[in-house]
Amino acid sequence: MSDAIGSSPASVPTLYEWLGGIDALVRLTTHFYSTVVPNDPVLAPVFAGMSPDHATHVAYFIAEVLGGPSRYSSDVAGPRGGHAHMVAHHLNRMLTEQQRSRWLQQLLVSADAVGFPTDPEFRSAFVAYLEWGSRIAVLNSAPGVPDPAPQAMPRWGWGVPGGPYQPPVESKS
């Protein structure tokens, strides 16, 4: 690991810290759900009738998963439990692969639009989580999936030793 970050794992920022915290996530989800989704013929029907707080709740959820505060579990989901609460929102929605894929594609376009980091290490970890999470949503949206049992909130990290990208250190020769 580069000296620019430090030599201890504690000095490696979380994905949440790297992307800019809750303000960045709220910008992302607000842009996505208020600007992109209503104008997308594949996504608009999926999210029609969502609560006005939906974008903020999704930002809190992603924040918690990526290493931020547990605000989704404590403030939004409350006693029902964070991850189970999110899973329950997908039950019987019968999401399709086309909808999942479009959601991911358009969320990444929104990430660019609001200035999310573009370094490959961050984007790889971020996309990996979005792929995993959106596939879980589709699976849980199938008919007959039972109500979710309480479960630990998923935690997503860099996925590779060393953490975020560091530019090469110029040698002073």
For the stretch 116-157, pLDDT in tens is 999 999 999 999 999 988 888 887 777 887 776 777 778 889
Q: Which of the pair, 27 or 161, is modelled with greater confidence?
A: 27
Q: The whole model's pTM is what? A: 0.81
Phi first, then psi, for residue 162 (nearest 5°) are 100, -20
Phi first, then psi, for residue 20 (nearest 5°) are 110, 10
What the chain holds in terms of domains, given with CATH numbers, is 13-120+132-140 (1.10.490.10)
**Considering the chain, what is the average pLDDT of its residues?**
81
Is the pLDDT at 14 greater than 60, yes or no? yes
Q: pLDDT-derived band of residue 84, with 50, 70 and 90 as boundaries?
A: low
CA distance 69 to 81: 15
Q: Which of the pair, 89 or 82, is modelled with greater confidence?
A: 82
What is the 8-class DSSP label of residue 143?
Answer: T
